[in-house]
Structure 1
């Protein structure tokens, strides 16, 4: 067991002849006691500091272990997040590719349908155009025949007899001829309108219809005057 200052102070030495000077021994012991007390205090202080350092070291070791464990957990979590992110990215990429492919297929189908409809419509329009041209040709032929028959009536010898110069005794014959001409014009107009409604003539034949419409043709009737001249009505 280590000596204490009190043990040194209470130490007694036996006296012998020719021994040491007691005062010097006591003074030296007092000095030893003082130095020993100082050494003990320093030792206690150092021990206390050592204990505090050991506690701090233990705390930091525990903190280091905790940090290491946290780092490990964080790394594992980061690895899981990274793996999940990669999986989600792959899933999103696949879904996007699938959606893009579906959109492309739908667009191709729609474009195909539009092209097919446009082609069918073009064919239908071509057929309808040919039909309209055929109908227009038929209408033109019928109109030409009718106009020629009208012209033959106008060129008839009956009108030459009526319109002879100075002949005033055939007024009733002129009226009958006018009535027959008006009746013929009305019948012709009805026939032309009936043909136009039934055959739906194409726009390019409207000019021919307008030229063939009897209502657009002015009927000129020549009457003889009293002085032998002719006047038109």
Structure 2
């Protein structure tokens, strides 16, 4: 058990012959007591200070552990955020690529549709152009045949007889001319049919041109004016 200042103060020594001076011993003990009290006070102060430092040390250790734990949690959160960000970026990238590919596919499909439609229109136009050329060629042949037949009628000698200056032609003479013209028209129709057989490209063309010829082979008699 540690000696206290009170123990020193109350300490009693036995006396012997030729022993120490009692006053000096008491004085020295008082001095030791005071110094010991100071030492004890310093010890208590240092103990309190040590306890405070230990308390602070425990606080800082706890704070360090808490900070370390917070750092770990923050690191884990940052890793999760980074991972989530990467996943979201990948998803956004895939969606953007898909949307871009969809747009490209739609544009290609539309372009193919436009090209196909334009090609179909071009084919129809080419077909219609060929058909128009064919119809124009047939019309030209029809017109040429009709004009040739009418020209032959105009060049006939019967017209010369009708148009001769002199006495007025009688009605009977005109009727004879018309009958002769009909005979000539029939012969001319045979020649026209022979020509059509040569120029017609198909039986349909031949039949159609023959119909036109039949419509145009009717003889038209034009009487000259009395003034002439």
Same fold (TM over 0.5): yes
Partner of 1:81: 81
Q: What TM-score comes out, normalization by structure 2 length?
A: 0.59
- Once the two structures are TM-superposed, the CA of residue 9 in structure 1 deviates from its matched residue by 1.4
The within-5 A match list for 1:85-164 is 85-139=85-139
Structure 1, 140-149 or 128-137: larger mean CA deviation: 140-149
Structure 1, 80-89 or 17-26: larger mean CA deviation: 80-89
CA distance in 2, matches of 1:10, 1:72: 62
SS in 2 for 1:17: coil
- Once the two structures are TM-superposed, the CA of residue 46 in structure 1 deviates from its matched residue by 0.3
Number of aligned positions between the proteins: 167
CA distance in 1, matches of 2:104, 2:22: 118
- Once the two structures are TM-superposed, the CA of residue 145 in structure 1 deviates from its matched residue by 7.1
Does residue 11 of structure 2 align to residue 11 of structure 1?
Answer: yes
- Once the two structures are TM-superposed, the CA of residue 11 in structure 1 deviates from its matched residue by 1.3
CA distance in 2, matches of 1:36, 1:146: 158
Partner of 1:212: none
The within-5 A match list for 1:167-206 is none
- Once the two structures are TM-superposed, the CA of residue 92 in structure 1 deviates from its matched residue by 3.0
CA distance in 2, matches of 1:69, 1:129: 87
- Once the two structures are TM-superposed, the CA of residue 137 in structure 1 deviates from its matched residue by 4.2
CA distance in 1, matches of 2:117, 2:17: 145
Deviation per residue, 1:77-106 (Å, 9 max, x gap): 233333333333333333333333322222
Deviation per residue, 1:48-103 (Å, 9 max, x gap): 10010111111111111111222222222233333333333333333333333322
CA distance in 2, matches of 1:34, 1:143: 156
CA distance in 2, matches of 1:52, 1:147: 136
The within-5 A match list for 1:24-63 is 24-63=24-63
Structure 1, 136-145 or 93-102: larger mean CA deviation: 136-145
CA RMSD, Structure 1 to Structure 2 (Å): 3.5
| Runs of at least 5 residues in structure 1 that lack an aligned partner in the other structure | 163-223, 225-233
Partner of 1:217: none
Deviation per residue, 1:80-137 (Å, 9 max, x gap): 3333333333333333333333222222221111111111111111122223333444
CA distance in 2, matches of 1:111, 1:133: 32
SS in 2 for 1:15: coil
CA distance in 1, matches of 2:87, 2:102: 22
